[in-house]
Amino acid sequence: MVVARIVVLAFALVFASAAGAVTPIGAPQWRELTPAQRDVLAPLAREWGAMSETQRQKWVGIANRYPRLTPEEQARIRARMKSWVGLTPEERQRARDQYRALRNAPPEKREAMREQWLRYRSLSPEERQSKPDARAPRRSQRPPARGTPE
Amino acid sequence: MNEQEFARRLAGHLCAGAHEVDGAVAQRLCAARESALAAQRPRRRLARLPTRDSLRFTLSPALRSGLTMAAVLALFVVGDYWVTWSRVASQEEVDTALLSDDLPIDAYLDAEFKEWLSRES
């Protein structure tokens, strides 16, 4: 009796995992989107059919949040959508992890990050690896020259 | 003489004696019998209602196994749905913030940028 129960439970678990792998969460087709959602997600129209249900559901959520963003943020999202979808899942996850790590920085550091990113981009790979002290202008070993007595 | 035989003989004596009782006693006996039967009827109806134990024995082992399997299946499907839904909600929030951020995506893809920032500060 106990063995039969274990067998039944094992079958249930196997079927449940199979069912869980295909659990639909109600992701809509492109034609089922509202005109406003289609307008926001227009850069992804071609890729929409090839996306997984979870990806589509996520983009629908982003489209619903879109009206609450500032015009600058809206422009950034629309400009970056296509390249974001073109990344591999591993790259997207790495970017999310890095974003979570940098998001916790103090506000004053967050504001300076844009300039720091531009500065970082302008450096060569060797300069990026070197320590800040090594890049600092060399101080003269000798004391500053004083005016010579007349 | 066993118990059943004694009961049968006692019933025979009572039947024979019932013809000899007078009218008033017969009426009282009849009323007592009716009230005893009336008291017995609801108890019989209650006894027919299915109890947890009777249900347990009426469900065949195959049906019980099937119900267990269905319950486990439903639990896993609901659990998986919840996990998927929470993951989508979390990604939706992070991706919206990341894509609308003033730092470009490349900044978050460059693993060395974070280390460089920590060295600079």
The encoded tokens of residue A73 equal 């943020």
φ, ψ of residue B62 in degrees (nearest 5): -65, -40
Nearest to B98 among A4, A91, A95 (CB): A95
For B57-93, write each residue's pLDDT tens digit: 677 878 888 888 899 999 998 998 899 889 899 999 9
Name the residue ranges covered by the structural domains of chain B. 1-49, 60-121
Name the residue ranges covered by the structural domains of chain A. 24-125
Across chain A, mean pLDDT equals 79
Residue A24's pLDDT band, with cuts at 50, 70 and 90, is low
Tell me: pLDDT of A144 over 50: no
Interatomic CA distance for residues B93 and A127, integer angstroms? 35
A145 contacts chain B (CB < 8 A): no
Q: What pLDDT is stored for residue A79 in this prediction? A: 94
Least confident of A63-67, B53-57, B76-80: B53-57
A112 contacts chain B (CB < 8 A): no
Interface list for A 5-44 with B (CB within 8 A): 5, 8-9, 11-13, 15-17, 19-21, 23, 25
Q: What pLDDT is stored for residue A14 in this prediction? A: 58
The encoded tokens of residue B25 equal 């006693």
| CA distance, residue B15 to nearest chain A CA (Å) | 54
Q: What pLDDT is stored for residue A16 in this prediction? A: 53
B85 contacts chain A (CB < 8 A): yes
